[in-house]
Each structure stands twice: as C-alpha cells, then as structure tokens.
Structure 1
Amino acid sequence: MKRQVISASILSAFLATAVATAAEDPVAVRKAQMQSNAASAAVAGAMLKGELDYNPAVAKAAIASLNATAKAFGDYFPEGSDEGETTAAPAIWDNPEGFQQALGKFQADAAAAVQASGREGPASLEAFQQAITPVLSNCRSCHENFRVRNN
C-alpha cells in the first residue's frame, strides 16, 4: 500500500512542476508533462503486468494525470518553440491539422477513461486495462509521428 501511495504522490509532483513553469518556458512544460505521462504509463504498465498490485485509486490517479496532460498539452506548442532542446518533431508545425487530430483523439480517449473509471477508480484490473489501453495507444502513436527520436 505504501508503494502505491508513493506512486500516486509522484504523479502529482510532476503535474505541479508543469504548472509552476508554465508561464516561463513552453518546452520545459512539455517536458514536465511528458515526464508525468511517463510516470503514469509506468505505474499503469506495472499494474497491467502484475509487477505492482492493482489498486483502483492508483489506477484512477494515473488516468487523471494522463487526462490532465491531454487537456493542456496542446497549449505548449507556440510558434518558435521548436527550437532548442526539444524532441518535438517539425511535423507538429508542418502538419498542425494532423497534430490537432492526434491530440483530439488523446483527449477523447483520456476523457472516456476518466468516465469509465468512475469515482473510486476502475473496479478491476480488467476494467483498468480496457480504460487505459486506448490512452496509452495514443502516446505510442504520437511518439511515432510527432517526436524526434534520439539515437
């Protein structure tokens, strides 16, 4: 239980970091949001693989964190933020319609996961898997199409 509470606390810390730097540096915000997503995905993956005991509250926190990023993420790609230390691909600015479509799908799937998880979190690991799989699929798809890979 202690490990699960710590996992949920880590998710919250990443979101707080993003809010604190939002006004100053959109690239830093994107990085913080992606770190939050990575933490949420890691917790989700650990539960799905049985490496971490399933806990509905922790599952709900992971879903809520991904949903928060989905809602805010698109706000941090202003013109000129493709410069510097970023892995954001030029396709974000070259194909803004495609990026917005991908972002819209992420937002819709994350919102659906929030609804499916109910007030207390998904009732079972199977329910969590059904809710989170489409959300995580969006992450993979976006990384394939809108992220520069570091070799």
Structure 2
Amino acid sequence: MKRFVVSCSALSALFITAAAVTAADDPVAVRKALMQSMAASAATSGAMLKGELDYNPVVAKAALATFNATAHAYGDYFPGGSETGGDTTAAPEIWKDPEGFQEALGKFQTDVAAALEASGKDGPADLAAFQQAVGPVLTNCRSCHEDFRVKNN
C-alpha cells in the first residue's frame, strides 16, 4: 500500500510539473495532462468507494488535493485558438459559452475546496466521510464532461 501512495502522489506531481513545462507551447497538451491527473484521482477514488481498494485516508487526501490543484489550474488552458488542432475533446461550447464554462469551473473549485476542507489535515476519517466529501466533486466531473466535452462515439 505504501508503494501505491507514493506512486499516486508522484504521478500527480509529475502531471502538474509536465503541465507547467509545456504550458506556453501547447495548451491542449496541458489540458490533457491535467485531465490525466484528475482521471487517476477519480479512478483511485472510485476504487476505494467500490471496495476494490482498501480505504486509506492519505490516499483519499492526495486524490482531493490533486482535484483541487487541477481545478485551480485547468481553466487557464482554454485560450482562443485552442479549440481546434491537436487531439482535443474540448467541446466548442467552452468558447461559445465561456460564462457557462467559468460557472461550471467555479462550482467545481468550490466543491473541491469544501471537500478538501472537510477532509481535515489527515484525510477523511473513514470511507463514509470520503464518500460524502468526494461525491459532489465526482458529480461535477460528470456534469462538465456532459456539457463541455466532445462525446466519444
């Protein structure tokens, strides 16, 4: 289990660092790297919620911290002109309705901050506390994907 915790934290740090390095050159690549870090945290969270992975408050806290860091960085990587080119799944609605996108991003940031705060210094005390904290975060992920991501056929 300790190896997994280190790997999860190291992976998150790697994605965020990679995003910072490539930001100036390729906002699509940055978005993808940030989303990959969130996908890893969502997968870990889901595995704990489903009982596929033993609950660990440190891992839960790391997942929430990754969601939080990404939520506050993500919105900066949708400049005009990045809606096409590259291998993006960002929906045109992001640029057609920037206020709606910013509202969704703001809600996500608020819910993630609340989850992180509720998790305390050492992470959610138990699986039920983690489920309560991470539930709104994962709901936001789903909503944003429905409204602002190109559906895969």
Q: How high is the TM-score relative to the length of structure 2?
A: 0.94
Structure 1 runs of 4+ aligned residues shifted over 4 Å read none
- Cα-Cα RMSD: 1.1
Question: Counterpart in 2 of 1:72?
Answer: 73
Question: Counterpart in 1 of 2:91?
Answer: 89
Measure the CA separation in 1 of the matches of 2:43 and 2:21: 23
> Unaligned 5+ residue runs, structure 1?
none
- The CA deviation at 1:24 is 1.6
Measure the CA separation in 1 of the matches of 2:9 and 2:127: 17
Q: Deviations over 1:62-114 (max 9, x none)?
A: 00000111111111111001011211101001011111110010000010011
Q: 1:8 to 1:53 in 2, by over 3 A?
A: farther
Question: Counterpart in 1 of 2:46?
Answer: 45
* Conserved 8 A contact 1:59-1:128: yes
Question: Counterpart in 2 of 1:60?
Answer: 61
Measure the CA separation in 1 of the matches of 2:60 and 2:9: 9
Q: Within the alignment, does 1:135 sit opposite 2:126 as a pair?
A: no
Measure the CA separation in 1 of the matches of 2:77 and 2:64: 21
- The CA deviation at 1:51 is 0.8
Measure the CA separation in 1 of the matches of 2:128 and 2:104: 26
Question: Counterpart in 2 of 1:148?
Answer: 150
Measure the CA separation in 1 of the matches of 2:122 and 2:24: 33
**Number of aligned residue pairs:** 151
Measure the CA separation in 2 of the matches of 1:81 and 1:142: 18
Measure the CA separation in 2 of the matches of 1:117 and 1:141: 23
Aligned residue type for 2:149 = R
> Unaligned 5+ residue runs, structure 2?
none
- The CA deviation at 1:4 is 3.3
Question: Counterpart in 2 of 1:26?
Answer: 27
- The CA deviation at 1:19 is 1.8
* Conserved 8 A contact 1:5-1:58: no
Measure the CA separation in 1 of the matches of 2:111 and 2:41: 15
Aligned residue type for 1:83 = T
Q: Within the alignment, does 1:124 sit opposite 2:126 as a pair?
A: yes
Aligned residue type for 1:91 = E
- The CA deviation at 1:13 is 2.2
* Conserved 8 A contact 1:63-1:113: yes
- The CA deviation at 1:5 is 3.0
